[in-house]
Amino acid sequence: MKKVYVALIADFLHAGHIKVLKKAYELGEVIVGLYTDKACAELNDVPYLDFEKRKAVVENLRFVSKVIPQDSASYRKNLLTLKPDYVVHGDDWKYNYKKKYREEVINLLKKWNGELIEIPYSKDIKDLKLKDELKRIGITTNMRLSRLRYLLNVKKILKIMEVHNALSALIVEYTKTEDNDSFDGMWSSSLTDSTAKGKPDIEAVDLTSRLNTINEIFEVTTKPLIFDGDTGGRIEHFPYKVKTLERIGVSAIIIEDKKGLKKNSLLGTEANQTQDSIENFCAKIKAGKNAQITEDFMIIARIESFILEKGIDDALKRAFAYVKAGADGIMIHSRKKDPDEIFEFINRFREKDSITPIVVVPTSFNKIRIDEFEKVGVNIVIYANHMLRSAYPGMKKVAEIILKNKRSFEAEKYCMPIKKILDLIPGTR
């Protein structure tokens, strides 16, 4: 009996998979290398069903004789162990981001005269299309809520992008690079949600209004969302906030250790802002954690010591106290261009705590790449205001041009063609 190897994610089993497995079965005994959740993450294709759930389905298919884990996007380890006579795959990987793994498979198979068999993939069974369909159908509240923790478990670092309305969120939902990279989730920023509503970032936009924005975003997207909870408000009110956010499917709230009238952190000491005591802030974290109704919701504590120039020892002392009080993550903020204080904090925090997720918001220290953050142990990077800041300069310019020219012709080149605007919205055509 010949040995046949097929690697699968099998999040949504479809006719394409069956076609591949059927061909493999005709060739011999089929061993499926099922990508582990981490291997899927390497392919930027984190499944909705975890490994065990996917395994339960695949191992019961009649074409499959055995399922083993493939713990990397590369086939190398499993192929060297099994030395199969055949590897079977859809021919779509000749052209897409999996090309490099295909080349590796071909070279490995040469070592024992194995053969790669490729099955033509018809357009209508392309994975991508199925996933777009799923996005159109939507996602359940629980699935969206729990997805942030799941992503934190399977990916080394998450990229979160600011959204302030449904259209900006659609852009975040669908933007993808050639190697299948995309944003992992969304940030509901207090700064940009307030600004989009024409109000200052001082907790003047109330929770109901913030929730309206989020509901509109959730209607058209599937990615998880982190909520900028400002100071969290009064300790007595905070438990209600947590429950409300959970109920609509928000994955996490970040609260900052300031008190009184909050002003935006990027104003620093220019604004009159005060930091809460460690004791009070820990009590707020605890009140939130006690109120939570799901296991997956996260309360992340944001430290403002650098913003208020209180130094690294204060920041670290607060970080450890907040984790002890139950915080599910620590966000350390800075408004300096030079990232030294941020990196020193991360290194010193990681010496004592290798588990608690660290969040950074590199608005000022914007030259640091995602891989550099990953190397030092950051888990979440939030691009906190870029969708809003990139959208409005264009609007301002066009408003001025139309007034000056007394017609819109001159402004046309700064506007997106109507057809392209329509293409931003799935289901328009």
Catalytic residues: 201
Q: Which is nearer to ligand SPV, 49 or 266 (CB)?
A: 266
Of 40 and 191, the one with the shorter C-beta distance to ligand SPV is 191
Task: List the single partner that 251 binds among ligand SPV, Mg ion, none, CB under 5 to 8 Å by kind.
Answer: none
146 binds Mg ion (CB under 5 A): no
Measured from the CB of residue 349, what is the shortest distance to ligand SPV in angstroms?
19
State the minimum distance, in angstroms, from the CB of residue 338 to ligand SPV: 16
User: Using CB under 5 A, which residues numbered 194 to 233 contact Mg ion?
Assistant: 228
Site track for Mg ion across 148-187, x = CB under 5 A: ----------------------------------------
Out of ligand SPV, Mg ion, none, what residue 305 binds, judged by CB under 5 to 8 A for its kind, is none
Q: Which is it for strands 252-256 and 158-163: parallel, antiparallel or unpaired? A: unpaired
CB of 45 or CB of 228, closer to Mg ion = 228
> And the tokens for 384?
């906190």
Question: Quick one: what does residue 70 bind among Mg ion, ligand SPV, none, with the CB cut-off 5 to 8 Å set by partner type?
Answer: none
Distance in Å, CB of 222 to Mg ion, minimum = 24
Residue 2: name the closest of 105, 99, 91, 117 by CA.
Answer: 117
Residue closest to Mg ion when measured from CB atoms: 190
Among residues 55 and 333, whose Cβ is nearest to Mg ion? Answer: 333
Q: Cβ distance 196 to 188 under 8 Å?
A: no
Please say which residue, 268 or 377, places its beta carbon nearer to ligand SPV.
Answer: 268
Q: Does the footprint of Mg ion cover residue 273 (CB under 5 A)?
A: no
Name the binder of 46 from Mg ion, ligand SPV, none, CB < 5-8 A by kind. Answer: none
Q: Which partner from the list ligand SPV, Mg ion, none does 148 bind, CB cut-off 5 to 8 Å by kind?
A: none
Binding partner of residue 273 among Mg ion, ligand SPV, none, CB under 5 to 8 Å per kind? none
Please name the residue that has the structure tokens 């058209």.
Answer: 220
92 near Mg ion, rule: CB under 5 A: no
Q: How far is the CB of 101 from ligand SPV (least distance, A)?
A: 38
Nearest to 164 by CA among 219, 216, 123, 204: 216
Residue 380 binds which one of Mg ion, ligand SPV, none, with CB within 5 to 8 A depending on kind?
none
The amino acid occupying position 251 is S
Q: Rounded to the nearest whole angstrom, what is the least distance from the CB of residue 237 to ligand SPV in the complex?
A: 19
Residue with tokens 């608005």: 363
Cα separation values, 350 from 320, 329, 354, 358, Å: 11, 12, 5, 9
Least distance from C-beta 136 to ligand SPV, angstroms? Answer: 29
Pairing of the two strands 86-90 and 185-188? unpaired
User: Which residues are bridge partners to 252 per DSSP?
Assistant: 226, 298
Q: Which is nearer to ligand SPV, 305 or 385 (by Cβ)?
A: 385
Instruction: State the nearest-atom distance from the C-beta of 24 to Mg ion, in Å.
Output: 52
Residues engaged in binding ligand SPV (CB under 6 A): 189-191, 201, 228, 264-266, 361, 363, 384-385
Site of interaction with Mg ion (CB under 5 A): 190-191, 228
